[in-house]
Amino acid sequence: MKVAVSSTGYNLDSQLDPRFGRCQVILIVDTDTLVAEPLSNTNIAADHGAGVGAAQMVASNGVKVVLTGSVGPNAYNALEAAGIKIYTGVTGTVREAVDRFNRGELSPTTGPNVGGHHGMGGGRGGGQGRGRRWG
């Protein structure tokens, strides 16, 4: 079976990237042979739709399962619509994640585990003051 793992690098010994839509690399791993095909995530810098773009990329590669740390609502919906099972909260190396999946130690998620645009650094800087006293 083909699984997609969000990764920080291009091989099985790379750390799993906790972000699905904005991961650096998606490794497509055959769970029987552990042969991995790296796909550079071209959606990483997208202003919008990174998760959906990544979901479309894995769906077009015949993936049945995604192993990742977190997935937002749009990516979750796109993966679910493609019939792909999603496992979140996964950590360690890609190899460790696939091994845990093969041993049945992971449970599929029932919904997104982060809000939209998670990890984009979009804070608004709501502090008041810039060193001034307000009182």
| 75-107 pLDDT, tens digit each | 999 999 999 999 999 999 999 999 999 999 999
Q: Where are the domains of the chain?
A: 2-102
Q: Which among 35, 30, 34 is positioned nearest to 1, based on CA atoms?
A: 30
Q: Which among 64, 60, 74, 76 is positioned nearest to 109, based on CA atoms?
A: 76
Read off the pTM. 0.84
Pairing of strands 2-7, 25-30: antiparallel
What band does 44 get if pLDDT is binned at 50, 70 and 90?
confident
For residues 17-22, give the mean pLDDT. Answer: 94
Give pLDDT, residue 117: 58
Selected residue with higher pLDDT from 77 and 125: 77
Q: CB-side exposure of 84: number of CA atoms within 13 Å?
A: 30
Architecture of domain 2-102: 2-Layer Sandwich (3.30)
Average pLDDT, the chain: 88
